[in-house]
Amino acid sequence: MNSEKKIIFMGTAEFAIPCIKNIINNYNLLCVVTSVDKPAGRGLKLKESPVKKYAKENKITILQPTNLKENDFISKIKSYKPDLIVVVAFRMLPEILWKIPKYGTINVHASLLPEYRGAAPINWSIINGEKYTGVSTFFINNKIDTGEIIDQSKIAINNNETAGDIHDKLMELGGALLIKSIDKIFSSKRVLTQNQLDHKPNNSAPKLNKTNCKINWEDSSEKIYNKIRGLSPYPGARSVLDNHTKTINLIIYKSKYANEKHSYTIGKVIVNKDNIKIATSDGYIYPSLIKFEGKNTLDIKSLINGFNFHEKCKMI
């Protein structure tokens, strides 16, 4: 452990936990900066971030500023005299903050930059049918995910893996890559970096919302299948079932697909004894895990047994 080098960590989500663990095991972690507790659930009880929970369990000092530009907060960070700030799954930092440390501020991002800059890189890489993804470490600058790249690590995406599967793999990979990058930064050698602006990315990773999470049944079966697994387990691929007399909002979490010629109208729902298939432009989607709005998530056999599908029902 190198106790001489002092690090401040900033993060919120579970994805950041292996990075914190590895910093604790190798360097002097001064404190953790995370989001303020937010009301959640039906009771609107205050919910702590995964990073805060982990910090409390490990008796790490916690800071929860409401404003990252706040004078008291900036003064507090300066008083620690950090050698490095590490940011993972947090928010954009003001320049007055990321310029404080002697060695700068670095970020761990869940894509092979410059591809998939933005808030949801894991989801979009799967939605777009990528065969590979990875993690990148880079120095933060005044634009989102555009700083000088320090290191990258690559993994394959299997065609049955979900966003949840890849999240868990990259979470561990990111923790290992971070320490490799920090070791480089704190070594006496000059850190060789790659300029992202030399390469124009083909894809971005915008924030997910109800519109871009909706299934377009005019798409190919493979494209719809990729969307479903790219949005599983969260936030889920959305659709609407037109059951002739009423419409139902739903989420499909798991499916298979088949390319097969047919004469059905696109979106037509065909209900069989053991499965449901939905007609697409070039075949069928076979959902296996569905959640109707306001109801529990059900496997497809339970749904068939418990719901009365109209013979004219379709997805819209």
Q: Percentage of the chain surpassing pLDDT 90?
A: 89
Whether the pLDDT of residue 42 is over 90: the answer is no
At residue 201, the pLDDT reads 83
Whether the pLDDT of residue 18 is over 90: the answer is yes
Give the C-alpha separation, 134 to 69, whole Å. 32
Grade residue 188 by pLDDT with cuts at 50, 70 and 90: confident
> Averaged over 183-205, what is the pLDDT?
84
Helices (H), 58-107: 71-80, 95-98
Cβ–Cβ < 8 Å for 135, 167: no
Give helix 17-26 / helix 163-186 axis angle, nearest 10°.
30
- The predicted-structure confidence for 170-187, as pLDDT tens digits, reads as follows 999 999 999 999 999 999
Task: Delineate the domains of the chain, giving CATH numbers in brackets.
Answer: 2-205 (3.40.50.12230), 221-315 (3.10.25.10)
Altogether, the residues listed in the chain come to a count of 316
Residues 6+ apart with CB under 8 A from 137: 106, 107, 108, 109, 149, 150, 151, 152, 177, 178, 181
At residue 43, the pLDDT reads 73
At residue 192, the pLDDT reads 79
At residue 1, the pLDDT reads 61
How high is the mean pLDDT of the chain? 95
Cβ–Cβ < 8 Å for 157, 124: no
User: What does R_g of the chain's alpha carbons equal in angstroms?
Assistant: 23
What is this structure's pTM?
Answer: 0.94
At residue 2, the pLDDT reads 65
Instruction: Give backbone dihedrals phi and psi of 66, rounded to 5 degrees, phi first.
Output: -85, -25
Strand bridging mode 297-299 / 45-47: unpaired
* 275, burial (CB in 10 Å: exposed 0-12, middle 13-18, buried 19+): middle
Grade residue 128 by pLDDT with cuts at 50, 70 and 90: very high
Q: How far is CA 61 from the centre of its chain?
A: 26
Count of beta carbons in the 10 Å neighbourhood of residue 286: 18
- The predicted-structure confidence for 261-276, as pLDDT tens digits, reads as follows 999 999 999 999 999 9
> Averaged over 106-134, what is the pLDDT?
97
User: Among residues 316, 253, 265, 258, which one has the least CA distance to residue 285?
Assistant: 258
User: Among residues 301, 261, 315, which one has the least CA distance to residue 284?
Assistant: 261
